[in-house]
């Protein structure tokens, strides 16, 4: 089999850009070259990879592209690792980050990376945890800062910090005047909630279940930053991480601690298999150090070292049912 990297790059570009012509533009070549590379790969594999009538990958094509991304990432990592042996960290790294953490961590990360490793090119993607996990698995991302625990068995997570969860609502709401509320006081309150099946939603539901009720969703959304934006636009209260409320909005919104809710766990996720390339290893080290510095300085109210003891919650009141 004479498969080469140009064939893998061609079919991956078609997957990313939707058409052969757009793939050619992205690769800096002509459409006929992309078509020829894909057709040659199909002949060698004995399978159709792209449905030309719909411009979409076939099932076989999806398998090939997922593997091709990893192959190309390993080849780029090889070049970066050789450079790192000469004490020059260079190359590209793709980092994903949940939005509420990216708001304060990304500026620190970019500044420190530019200072230490000016030859590293960073692509930073903001998304919800479920999207970031999927992009890690298929090789689009090298590492990601995401909610823990990770769901996909192909990924491993390293805990960075724990974060308080608070009820965010307008200051004129009845619950806003409370210094804190018990978890049971959320019963019947229509909330903007994370989608079911996400780590963040599972944590909240697991905390509520022993109290004998379910939260009432006004809407269920993928992405804590999206939930926060809709809350700040007046579409409903939400249980949010403490850092989801930026400093300039803290005087306009009430953040009420909820006794009985666990802290959110945030960490670094990466693929279990394969060695991180040198640029990704360098960026990972900067992320860890930046978080530790923020924790030590106390600049981010509501975030805590991993595993720090949570103050015990008051027992829930007796329910007449």
pLDDT tens column, 47-99: 898 888 877 889 888 888 888 887 777 776 666 566 555 566 778 899 999 98
With respect to residue 256, please indicate whether it lies within any of the assigned structural domains: yes
Output the average pLDDT for the chain.
86
Q: What number of CA atoms fall less than 13 Å from residue 94's CA on the CB side?
A: 17
Q: Do 248 and 171 belong together in one domain?
A: yes
Q: Do 156 and 170 belong together in one domain?
A: no
With respect to residue 137, please indicate whether it lies within any of the assigned structural domains: yes
With respect to residue 312, please indicate whether it lies within any of the assigned structural domains: no
Q: Do 169 and 250 belong together in one domain?
A: yes
Q: Is the Cβ–Cβ distance between 287 and 116 less than 8 Å?
A: no
The secondary structure of the chain, three-state, reads CCCCHHHHHHHHHHHHHCCHHHHHHHHCCCHHHHHHHHHHHHHHHCCCCEECCCCEECHHHHHHHHHHHHHHHHHHHHHHHHHHHCCCCCEEEEEEECHHHHHHHHHHHHHHHHHHCCCEEEEEEECCHHHHHHHHHCCCCCEEEEECCCCCCCEEEEEEEEECEEEEECCCCHHHHCCCEEHHHHCCCEEEEECCCCHHHHHHHHHHHHHCCCCEEEEEECCHHHHHHHHHCCCCCEEEEHHHCCHHHCCCCEEEEEECCCCEEEEEEEECCCCCCHHHHHHHHHHHHHHHHHHHHCCCCCEECCCCCCCCCCCCCCCCC
The count of structural domains within the chain is: 3
Burial label, 307 (beta-carbon count in 10 A; 0-12, 13-18, 19+): exposed
Q: Is the Cβ–Cβ distance between 227 and 192 less than 8 Å?
A: yes
Domain of residue 115, CATH code: 3.40.190.10
With tokens 């210094």, the residue in question is 179
With respect to residue 314, please indicate whether it lies within any of the assigned structural domains: no
Q: Do 96 and 155 belong together in one domain?
A: yes
With respect to residue 309, please indicate whether it lies within any of the assigned structural domains: no
With respect to residue 258, please indicate whether it lies within any of the assigned structural domains: yes
Q: Given 211, 246, 262, which residue is the final one in a domain?
A: 262
State the sign of the Cα–Cα–Cα–Cα dihedral 10, 15, 20, 22: negative
Question: Which pair of structure tokens corresponds to residue 46?
Answer: 């004995």
Q: Do 171 and 253 belong together in one domain?
A: yes
With respect to residue 80, please indicate whether it lies within any of the assigned structural domains: no
> Does 45 score more than 60 pLDDT?
yes
Q: Do 300 and 249 belong together in one domain?
A: no
pLDDT band at 319 (very low <50, low <70, confident <90, very high): very low
Q: Do 40 and 181 belong together in one domain?
A: no
> Does 161 score more than 50 pLDDT?
yes
Q: Do 203 and 141 belong together in one domain?
A: no
Residues 91-141: tens digit of each pLDDT: 889 999 998 899 899 999 999 999 999 989 999 999 988 899 999 988 889
Range of the domain at 300: 89-160+266-304
What pTM, to 2 d.p., does this model score? 0.69
Q: Do 170 and 149 belong together in one domain?
A: no
């Amino acid at each position: 089999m004479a498969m080469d990297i140009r064939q893998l790059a061609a079919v991956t570009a078609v997957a990313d850009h939707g058409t052969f012509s757009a793939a050619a533009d992205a690769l800096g070549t002509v459409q006929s070259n992309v078509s020829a590379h894909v057709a040659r790969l199909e002949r060698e594999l004995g399978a159709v990879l792209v449905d030309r009538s719909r411009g979409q990958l076939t099932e076989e094509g999806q398998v090939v592209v997922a593997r091709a991304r990893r192959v190309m990432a390993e080849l780029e990592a090889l070049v970066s690792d050789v450079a790192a042996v000469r004490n020059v960290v260079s190359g590209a790294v793709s980092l994903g980050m949940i939005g509420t953490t990216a708001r304060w961590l990304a500026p620190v990360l970019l500044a420190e990376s530019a200072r230490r490793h000016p030859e590293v090119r960073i692509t930073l993607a903001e998304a919800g945890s479920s999207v970031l996990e999927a992009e890690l698995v298929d090789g689009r991302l090298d590492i990601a800062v995401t909610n823990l625990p990770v769901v996909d068995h192909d990924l491993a997570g390293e805990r960075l910090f724990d974060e308080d969860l608070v009820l965010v609502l307008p200051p004129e709401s009845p619950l806003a005047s409370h210094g804190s509320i018990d978890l049971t006081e959320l019963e019947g309150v229509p909330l903007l909630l994370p989608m079911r099946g996400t780590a963040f939603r599972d944590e909240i539901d697991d905390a509520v279940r022993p109290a004998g009720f379910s939260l009432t969703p006004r809407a269920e959304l993928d992405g804590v930053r999206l939930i926060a934006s809709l809350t700040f636009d007046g579409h409903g209260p939400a249980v949010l991480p403490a850092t989801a409320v930026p400093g300039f909005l803290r005087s306009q919104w009430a953040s009420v601690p909820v006794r009985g809710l666990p802290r959110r766990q945030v960490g670094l996720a990466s693929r279990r298999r394969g060695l991180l390339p040198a640029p990704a290893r360098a960026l990972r080290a900067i992320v860890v150090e930046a978080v530790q510095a923020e924790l030590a300085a106390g600049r981010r109210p509501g975030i805590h070292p991993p595993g720090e003891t949570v103050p015990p919650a008051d027992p829930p009141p007796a329910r007449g049912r």
